Amino acid sequence: MLVNCDKEIVRLMHEYLDGHLAKTEENKLRSHLQSCEACQKHFHELKRTVAMLKSSSDIQAPVNFTANVMEGLPQEKKRVGYMR
């Protein structure tokens, strides 16, 4: 089960998810996944986690955010051409 293959294979999974996996390593990962159901599940869960993170990454700043920032800026730079 996973106990024997986990460390190296899981590392390859993460390298893959970060787009850092070389072709030879990718083949290694693929052929392992074909034969190991536990790792298949693990990989599926990771990809699902990533999909969840991505699809929930559309967080918007509150309305008036920009206006509030502009109001909070120190006043002294308002005149164009003035450098501190």
Residues that bind other proteins (CB under 8 A): 1-3, 6-7, 10-11, 14, 17-18, 20, 38, 41-42, 45-46, 48-57, 59-62, 65-66, 68-70, 72-74, 77-84
Helix, strand and coil content of the chain, in percent to the nearest 5, comes to 70, 0, 30
Q: How far is the CB of 1 from other proteins (least distance, A)?
A: 6
Shortest Å distance, C-beta 32 to other proteins: 15
Nearest to 16 by CA among 24, 55, 5: 24
Q: Which lies closer to other proteins via its Cβ, residue 17 or residue 28?
A: 17
Which residues does 43 contact at the CB level (< 8 Å), separation at least 6? 13, 33
